[in-house]
Chain A
Amino acid sequence: MYVIVVGGGKVGYYLTKELLEQGHEALVIERNAERVDHIVEDLGNVALKGDGCEVATLQEAGVARCDVLVAVTGDDEDNLVSCQLGKNHFGVPRTIARVNNPENERIMRTLGIDVTVSATTILMSMIEHEMPRRALLHLLAIQRMGVEIVEAVLNAGARAVGKSIGGLVLPPESSIAVVIRGGTFLIPSGSLVLQEGDEVIALCRPQQEADLRNALLGPS
C-alpha cells in the first residue's frame, strides 16, 4: 500500500516508521525543514517538505496513486482540508484524520472524512470504562413541580444490584419509574430484583438526589 502521512510530528513520525517496517510505501509531508531533515536522517528519503493542504505539494507526493491519506497534524482544520482535497479532488480511496477537539469527530464525518481518530475520545472512553459510574444522569427537570427525572446505570458493585425494589430504602419523596434491561423496559413491581447493567429511571426532589444515589449506587 502507498500511504501519505500529512504532518511529521511525533504521531506522523512513528506512524511512518511502523508503516515502513511493515513493508508499506509511505511518505510524510511536513512544513518544517528541520523536522524533514530529522525524518530523512532516521527513516531514509521518505519526507517531503511542503504544505499538505496545497494541491501542488499533494501532486508532488503522488497523491493520485495513494491508497490511504492520513492527516495527523495538531490542527483539525488542516487535517480536514488535506483529507478533503485528497478525497474530493484526487479521489483517494480512504482518508483518515486525527481530531484534536473530540466534538469535531462528528463534523469531520459529516464533511466526508472516512475515519476520524481522537486521542481524547479514546482516553475518555477507557477512563469511563475503568471507573464505575457513580453519578446520576439528569434526564429532565420539571421545575414547576420541583421534581427531577434521573437515570442510574447499575454497574458491578452498585448497591442496588441483587436487591428487590421493595427492599430498597429510598428517600421519602422519590420513586422508581421504570427499569430498562436488555433493550426492553420493566414496570418496577416491589418484587423485581435489580441486576447488573440495569438502567434505573427515577423521580426525586433535587435535594434528595444524594440520598437516592446512595441507595442505588452506594457511597460516591
Chain B
Amino acid sequence: MLPDGNARREEEGMKIIVMGCGRVGGRLANMLDSEGHEVTVIDRNAASFRRLREGFSGTTVLGTGIDEDVLRRAGAEEADVFVATTEGDNRNLMSAQIAQKVFNVPTVIARTYDPGRSEIYEKLGLKTYCPTLVGARLLHEMILGK
C-alpha cells in the first residue's frame, strides 16, 4: 500500500518556501532545514542570507515574492508550504495570495503586524500570524501570572 500524503511528507520532508530572510524568517528556515525539509528562502537583499546557518542545504532566491516569476523560480508550483515573513504586511498578504490562488500551494501563512488586516484576511480564507496579538497576549499573561 502506498503511504498517504502526510506519511510520505514526513518521510521525505516538505517543500517549504520562506519569503523574507530576516530574524524570524532566517531562524525558521534554519530550523526547518536542520529537520530535513527542503527549504527555499526568498529575499530581495542578498546580505540577508548571512542569517542562514553554516551548511544550510536549502536554496536561496534573490527577488521579491510579489513577483510571480520569482515565486515560480522558488518552486512555488511544487511547494507544500509558503510562509511570508517580511517586514511589510501588504507584501506578505499579496505574495501569500499569489501562492494560494495562482500556484495552489496547500498551506500558506502571512505574517501581518496589523491586527485589523490580520482578522479581515483570515475571514477571506488566508492563514495569518499576527505578532502584535501574540506578543500582547503573552505580555499580559506574564504580567498577570498563570
Q: Does B77 contact A (CB under 8 A)?
A: no
A110 with B101, Cβ < 8 A, contacts A76-B94, A103-B69 known: yes
Total A-B pairs in contact (CB under 8 Å)?
A: 51
Report the nearest B residue to A103, measured CB to CB.
Answer: B68
Q: How far is the CA of A76 from the CA of B88 in the complex (A)?
A: 12
Chief secondary structure at chain B's binding surface: helix
A107 with B120, Cβ < 8 A, contacts A53-B90, A81-B90, A81-B93 known: no
Contact A111 B69 (CB under 8 A): no
Q: Chain A, interface size: which category? A: 20 to 34
Q: Does B78 contact A (CB under 8 A)?
A: no
Q: How far is the CA of A75 from the CA of B97 in the complex (A)?
A: 16
Which of B67, B88, B89, B90 is within 8 Å of A103, CB to CB? B67
Contact A107 B90 (CB under 8 A): no
A56 with B91, Cβ < 8 A, contacts A101-B67, A103-B68 known: no
Contact A77 B117 (CB under 8 A): no
Contact A107 B68 (CB under 8 A): yes
Q: Does A125 contact B (CB under 8 A)?
A: no
Which of A54, A75, A77 is within 8 Å of B93, CB to CB? A77
Contact A77 B101 (CB under 8 A): no
Contact B116 A55 (CB under 8 A): yes
Contact B120 A75 (CB under 8 A): no
Task: Indicate with 1 or 0, residue by residue over A82-116, a CB within 8 angstroms of chain B CB atoms.
Answer: 00110011000000000001011001001100000
B residues sitting closer than 8 Å to A (CB atoms) are: 66-69, 88-91, 93-95, 97-98, 101-102, 114, 116-117, 120, 124
- Give me 16 A-to-B residue pairs in the complex whose CB atoms sit less than 8 angstroms apart, sorted by A's number: A53-B89, A53-B114, A54-B116, A55-B117, A75-B90, A76-B66, A80-B90, A80-B94, A81-B90, A89-B120, A104-B68, A107-B68, A107-B102, A110-B102, A111-B97, A111-B101
